[in-house]
Chain A
Amino acid sequence: MDLLLDGFATALSPTNLLFAVLGVLLGTAVGVLPGIGPAMTVALLLPVTYSVPAESALIMFAGIYYGGMYGGSTTSILLNTPGESSSVITALEGNKMAKTGRAAQALATAAIGSFVAGTIGTVLLILLAPTVGPLVVTLGAPSYFAIMLLALVSVTVVLGSSKLRGFIALFLGLAIGLVGMSSGQPRMTFGFAELSDGIEIVVVAVAIFALGEALWVAAHLRRTPLEIIPVGRPWMSRSDWSRSWKPWLRGTALGFPFGALPAGGAELPTFLSYVTERRLSKHPEEFGKGAIEGVAGPEAANNASAAGTLLPMLALGLPTTATAAVILVAFESYGLQPGPQFMTQNEQLVWALLASLFVANTLLLVLNLPLAPVWAKLLRIPRPYLYAGILFFATLGAYSASTSPFDLGLLLVLGVLGFAMRRFAIPVLPLIIGVILGPRLEEELSEALDISRGDYSTLWGEPAAIICYLVMTLIVASLVAARIRSLRRAPRTSDTEKDEVHT
């Protein structure tokens, strides 16, 4: 408790409060804008870590993460175009509500639900994080290897429609992670001396998220504008409250554990929350026509999952969403390695971060209820202006990573890769997680084999590792079973180009 109060003292200092405000404003803005997400924003802001103290930068990034979850709902409800992949489900009922003149109530239940879920999620995080810490200290290298492998497999397989595309992205990421020196020998450097230190993750993240998206938008610049539904100040009636509070709590209960799982993310729990609310609702006839429960539940679930994501990230150094992955890069650029000892060694930082989550959540509620119409105005910015700014910061960020012109060339090459991935609907998340976890996977593997003197059986010598391999086998088996079933049923129709929301 003292630690938390100390954390609040740090988080509420004027400088850090300013960074928190900046973070939530930026986060909401990028959340509102489709195609631009918190992951890209944090990637673009990574150079900030060279000049700002660790607490301030991380507080800002946490604000961006939470803010993105709030902002996504605004576009879902008013435009029927999700601002973030976590708000896809919100559009189902939210936009119907808006069309029947209940946009203000939809926005209100989304914002308040996000606040409730974010707060409960943060409390859970604070309760669980210290207890998980000592538990993971006992894990050895083989277990770590297995857990990371599980994270890679499940992130690739569980999300997204095409497993093949997921694995393409994963192996691209692992390949990029292999570049550099290995046992004193250059590996996959293709004769470039600049590559011998490996590829800067900042450059990869900025290229894939920012440059890829900018090129994609440039290729699809002119589109028929969407119809926006005008809205006033969000508010809710008494019956809206009574219909919303249960979905909020259920959404939280679904979102947090899914966020904390290695295959987390917000897509699955928001979908499950929607299905649950439709089943439990006292007004099932309203679903599909704008039921408030269908907005309240998923919006609570996505914020709770954002809180849940921070648990494996802080305790294991395991990112499960794109944004968490980029925030992890920020930790590393401060020389901090989240993982077993991290919580005890950096108590002040961790508790300041946790306290700042409460601050960010409250700020978001205060900012979002009255400002919803203002956020909607952001959608009128012509894309060329927006993306010129993004390209500027992308180039600046990639160059400042090691002030070498070589990185700019690399940025372009990887940017084209990012564009190609969008063109062929290859998910971005497995790539970025592969780049980050690949080298660490290798490290744990060689450490485990060093200790066992090259005996491979050590890899399944720990209970935690065995559980991970069992879960992986289950995932793969269910995949194969589903595939066989669908092959029997009907010939599959393929989809080549999809206009997905990239986070």
Chain B
Amino acid sequence: MSIVIAYSPDIYGRAALEHGLAEALLRQTTLVVVNVTRGDSLVDSHYAHEDEVQQVLDRLDAAGVDAKVRRDVVPDIADAVLSVAEEEDATLIVVGVRHRSPVGKMLLGSVAQRVILDARCPVLAVKPS
């Protein structure tokens, strides 16, 4: 039993992290922070650096939650989040959502949308406040 957070080092990822943390404290479950990249460009701003990952872990430790971070290079980000949720027997997935223009949706797709539609467990969609 755990809560899976789809994390990226930006405001959306941090919003997901905070809400997921609050939810984990409430439900007394463990946390799994997923941060994956497609690895097809040289630089990916959605992929956290080592020290950023450490900061996240420190933050969760300080809050007293049993947490781990899963990072990987994968072909598809939404699939990766969903399969981690399966493996970890997740009771909840937390994703940050943002506005996308129709063109942006067509070109880039939406990780959050696919996670929301395909997940077997409830999904909490949060916005940065």
Contacts and interface: CB of A to CB of B under 8 A. Distances in A.
Contact of A81 (B38, B39, B42, B74): B42
A221 B38 CA distance: 9
Q: Quick one: which of B50, B73, B75 has the most chain A CB within 10 A?
A: B73
A376 to B, nearest CB: 8
B49 interface: yes
A-B CB proximity, top 7 nearest: A225-B44, A222-B39, A379-B43, A379-B42, A228-B43, A382-B40, A382-B41
B6 to A, nearest CB: 17
B8 interface: no
A34 B41 CA distance: 11
Given A221-B40, A379-B43, 16 more contacts: A33-B42, A223-B73, A224-B39, A224-B47, A225-B37, A225-B44, A227-B49, A228-B43, A379-B41, A379-B42, A380-B41, A380-B43, A380-B44, A381-B41, A382-B38, A384-B40
B45 interface: yes
Contacts of A221: 39-40
A224 B43 CA distance: 9
Contacts of B41: 225, 379-383
Contacts, number: 48
A228 B44 CA distance: 9
Interface in A430-481: none
Q: Quick one: which of A225, A227, A381 has the most chain B CB within 10 A?
A: A225
Contacts of A228: 43
A116 B40 CA distance: 36
Contacts of B39: 221-225
A226 interface: yes
Contact of A224 (B37, B45, B75): B37
B73 A224 contact: yes
Contacts of A33: 42
A354 interface: no
A251 B106 CA distance: 50
A79 interface: yes
By secondary structure, the A interface counts as loop
18 contacts: A34-B42, A79-B43, A222-B38, A222-B40, A223-B39, A223-B73, A224-B37, A224-B39, A224-B73, A225-B37, A225-B47, A227-B49, A227-B50, A376-B43, A379-B41, A380-B42, A382-B40, A383-B42
Contacts of A226: 42-43
A214 B44 CA distance: 20
A225 B43 contact: yes
Interface of B: 37-45, 47, 49-50, 73-75
Contacts of B73: 222-224
Nearest to A228: B43
Nearest to B73: A222
Contacts of A382: 38, 40-41
Contacts of B45: 380
Contacts of A380: 41-45
Nearest to A33: B42
Nearest to A34: B42
Contact of B40 (A79, A227, A383): A383
Nearest to B50: A227
A143 to B, nearest CB: 46
Contacts of B47: 224-225
A79 B42 contact: yes
A87 B103 CA distance: 38
Q: Quick one: which of A79, A81, A223, A376 has the most chain B CB within 10 A?
A: A223
Q: Quick one: which of B37, B44, B47, B50 has the most chain A CB within 10 A?
A: B44
Interface string A92-132: 00000000000000000000000000000000000000000
Contacts of B43: 79, 225-226, 228, 376, 379-380
A382 B45 CA distance: 12
A227 B75 CA distance: 20
Contacts of B40: 221-222, 382-384
Nearest to B75: A222
A380 B42 CA distance: 6
A223 B43 CA distance: 10
A443 B129 CA distance: 75
Nearest to A387: B40
Interface in A223-280: 223-228
B55 to A, nearest CB: 14
A461 to B, nearest CB: 54
Nearest to A217: B40
A33 B41 CA distance: 10
